[in-house]
Amino acid sequence: MAVATPAGRKCIAQASYKLDQVNESLTTIRGICAVVLVVVLIVAILVGRFLARRSLRPVQSITATAERIGVRGLGERIPLAGTNDEIDRLATTLNKMLERIERFVRQMQQFTADASHELRTPLAALRGSAEVALSQKRSTDELRQTLEEGISQYERLQRVAEDLLLLTRLDAGEVVMRREAVVLCDSVADVVDLYAPLAEEKGLSLGIESCDKAVVQGDDGRLRQVVGNLLDNSIKYTPPSGRISVSVAKAHGNARIQVKDSGIGIAANELSNVFNRFYRVDSSRSAVTAPGTGLGLSICQSIVEAHGGSITIESTPMKGTCVTVLLPADGFA
Ligand code: ADP
């Protein structure tokens, strides 16, 4: 049995004192650690919230701009932070999309305004003549004459309505283009035959200059409509005793249709506008001597582009005009 000596008891007391000190230090360290942990946690939360807010600020700006944009505020754009990061690239893409939408809406507004203007004039003329006819007692012959005079206005209204409908359907992709093998030369010859009496009546020579047997995949009816519109223009804008010639040729794997006339031509500064809807080079001249809707070339362009082709126009005032249609050829017979 061990008996504690005074020296042993002193030694044990010293050891227990040191253990108490170590425990006390450990408790202090634990307390400090807990406080540091809480502080670090709070700082981390605050910094995280700050960073998240900062990085989401451009997204908030995009949301705010998108909410402000309506049909009236289409000119507005999302501001760029200049950081060239993903958010900046997203804003640039959205801005480009807004630009396209704005251009489209402006075109639609212009189109609607032009269409209303185009319909208002013949409607006003018809109403005016009907009011004059009814303002006093008229004989049957006089009333008949009023009705006959109105026919040209009705025809004009009908033409504008048909052209507008066709363009709208072409824009919407609602016109189903057939894909059949079309021997261009045969179709062009038929259309030339169709317009020959009209040209003859005006004292114009109309003929086919050359005809390569090009074959294209397309809608024969619509392609004939293109050639018809171009011939109609040439006949309208070429003074008596002028010449109109049509040709079909190979051109770098494409089929090329050209309609040339020796007519009044188009000034260089007007040339880029003639494919715009309702554009007429000189509306007074066109309205008096050659009534048109200003939609013929736009329709040609829509049809040709739906066939994967292109249409261009060259002209010299008082010398003549040449319209060229290029279509992807399927082969040459
Ligand atoms: P329109 O029905 O008025 O003829 P288009 O769209 O076919 O409409 O043509 C637009 C304008 O381009 C015409 O008003 C006319 O001034 C001009 N134009 C088109 N073809 C010719 C041509 N062969 N010679 C002279 N001017 C032309």
Q: Determine what percent of the chain falls in helix, strand and coil, rounding each to the nearest 5.
A: 60, 15, 25
Give pLDDT, residue 287.
46
Give distance in angstroms: CA of 252 to centre of ligand 1.
28
Mean pLDDT of the region 98-119: 88
**Tell me: the pLDDT tens digits for 208-242?**
999 998 999 999 999 999 999 999 999 999 999 99
Give pLDDT, residue 262.
97
CA atoms of 86 and 204, how far apart (whole Å): 64
Does residue 100 register a pLDDT over 50? yes
Give pLDDT, residue 200.
97
Give pLDDT, residue 317.
95
Specify the residue with its C-alpha closest to ligand 1, atom 18.
Answer: 233
Beta bridge partners of 247: 210, 258
Measured from the Cα of 229, ligand 1's closest atom is: 7
CA atoms within 13 A on the CB side of 310: 4
Give pLDDT, residue 60.
85
Does residue 311 register a pLDDT over 60? yes
CA atoms of 225 and 45, how far apart (whole Å): 71
Give pLDDT, residue 286.
52
Spell out a b/e string for 151-179, using b for 16 or more CB atoms within 10 Å of the CB, else e.
eebeebbebbeebbebbeebeeeebebee
Give pLDDT, residue 288.
46
What's the pLDDT band for 84 if we cut at 50, 70, 90?
A: confident
Beta bridge partners of 315: 321
- Using DSSP's 3-state secondary structure scheme, residue 216 falls into strand
Structure token digits, residue 54 = 């900062």
Q: Is the CB of 122 under 6 A from ligand 1?
A: no
Q: Is the CB of 279 under 6 A from ligand 1?
A: yes
Does residue 252 register a pLDDT over 50? yes
CA atoms of 333 and 13, how far apart (whole Å): 120
Q: Is the CB of 234 under 6 A from ligand 1?
A: yes
What's the pLDDT band for 284 if we cut at 50, 70, 90?
A: very low
Distance from the first to the final alpha carbon of the chain: 127
Give me the percent of the chain exceeding a pLDDT of 90. Answer: 59
Handedness of CA 125, 126, 127, 129 (dihedral sign): positive
Q: What is the mean pLDDT of the chain?
A: 90
Mean pLDDT of the region 149-164: 90
CA atoms of 149 and 147, how far apart (whole Å): 5
Q: Which distant-in-sequence residues (6+ apart) come within 8 Å of 55 by Cβ?
A: none
Structure token digits, residue 236 = 């309208």
Measured from the Cα of 313, ligand 1's closest atom is: 20
Give distance in angstroms: CA of 182 to centre of ligand 1.
27
Mutate to test the pocket of ligand 1, among 226, 237, 243 (most ligand atoms within 8 A of CB): 237
Give distance in angstroms: CA of 229 to centre of ligand 1.
10
Mutate to test the pocket of ligand 1, among 121, 284, 297 (most ligand atoms within 8 A of CB): 297
